Amino acid sequence: MKYIVSPQWVSERLSRDDVRVIDCRFYMGDSSRGINEYIQSHIPGALYFDLERDLSGPVREHGGRHPLPDFDELMEKLSAAGIDRHTTIVAYDDQDGAMAARFWWLLRYLGHERIYVLDGGYTRWKGAGYPITEEVVAFPKRTFIPAYQPSLLATTEDVRRASEQDSAILLDSREPKRYLGIEEPIDRIAGHIPGAKNCFWKDALTSEGYWKKPHEQAARFASISKDEKIIVYCGSGVTACPNVLALSEAGYTNVQLYVGSFSDWISYPDHPIATGEN
């Protein structure tokens, strides 16, 4: 696999100075739980990045519930973590890869190629007997210099055009009940962006919580040509990221993330909403 790495792969590299491990555990509705779990135990050498404080910006009228962070601030945090363009980074969480994939996408957007996601997450790392610690370490500061990749990001206008003119495939990563408009526990309006297909993000993983192999990911997206442009969204630009990662594993290269996602889409009163099957 291209961006998914095994616990053994990570374990063999933990002592290297050019490797950083990033703990991204975060629980929606309990914003302090992830950092508290990190303080209790984590992978040796891991540093903590918080979904809402580090990997998202403040919520405004538009932009969704987890908009892009201030990149100057993020780059300062990456530099303080001892990360530069030569650093190999492994991100993990305990949420089936959703938070780690958000970190992975942000680093890819900043032009960093040496960024990976730990297969199985923290619980399976711990359960397999790999080392854990309470020790929080610091690293010498380095300078993170971005090389932005705007082609990885879809704007609201891109999504509007895709919905109206079929200029791209729209993939809704939420669970089917939310896509269909049967149930909406978070956003004020239920349904989906007109024209979007549903592809639940958790189907990227096996029943044991590991990432499916590239050929299995490819089977999930078999109805979509690799020549098509694909825009992936969810509720707020977090759980769409595992699907972006899965598409990358399956060999798709023209894939964009709509960071604002459905929570941004419905912030515009004139945007239509679809329910049921298209």
Which residues does the annotation mark as catalytic? Answer: 234
Nearest Cα neighbor of 114 from 136, 92, 83 is 83
Please give the structure tokens belonging to residue 92.
Answer: 């993990």
d(CA 204, CA 217): 6
Please give the structure tokens belonging to residue 266.
Answer: 């419905």
The HSE-up count of residue 146 (CA atoms within 13 Å, CB side) is 16
d(CA 147, CA 140): 22
Q: Other C-beta atoms within 10 Å of 113: how many?
A: 10
d(CA 111, CA 124): 29
